[in-house]
Amino acid sequence: MNKVIRYSLKYSLPLLLFVCLAGCSEEPEVTPAEYSRLLTGETSKTWRYQSFEFIFDEEDINPVNLTPPCLFSGSLVFSRQGRVLEINDDCSPLDRNENIGTFWAVNNANATLTIGGLEPYTIKQLTANTLVFGFKTPVTFNSINTQTGFAQFTFKVQAQ
């Protein structure tokens, strides 16, 4: 008798659990991934350029601000629909009334942002109001001194 009960529990309990769980018909709510939602808001969000600096790996070297003046009026507009990115700046050779359009993708698992199919940028900070991303790269000074570090862009949400 003891064998029968053990055998019944061993095989019928998993089967019963499977039948109960398979019968659930609740549809999961699909929500956009966290980074995408922060980048675009509900439909689109405009990020105003703040700074571009190089942060050296060696702690005794201060970060260098490398901001070209034409970028101070620059912005990025991330749109959820079609993952379109509009780049607005005065640095491009285009007419100032034209904007550069491309696509974007974000990977939540490894915190990267890809713009236009180029190498992904590392997202250092992304909140509802601040976007900081960049890439690791060497920089050569005076043709002989090469330092490695992180080239970092900072954007803030543009007030509506």
Residue range 60-109, pLDDT digits in tens: 777 777 777 766 678 889 999 999 988 887 665 554 445 566 889 998 88
- Host domain of residue 89: 41-157
Question: Which amino acid type is present at position 39?
Answer: L
pTM here is 0.69
93 found inside a domain: yes
CA dist 10 and 41 (Å) reads 50
64 found inside a domain: yes
CA dist 127 and 78 (Å) reads 14
Percent of all residues in the chain with a pLDDT value above 70, rounded to a whole number: 66
Q: How many CB atoms lie within 10 A of CB 158?
A: 13
105 found inside a domain: yes
CATH code assigned at 87? 2.40.128
130 found inside a domain: yes
Partners of 113 in beta bridges: 106, 121
Total number of domains constituting the chain = 1
Distances in Å between the Cα of 22 and the Cα atoms of 8, 18, 26, 116 are 21, 6, 11, 42
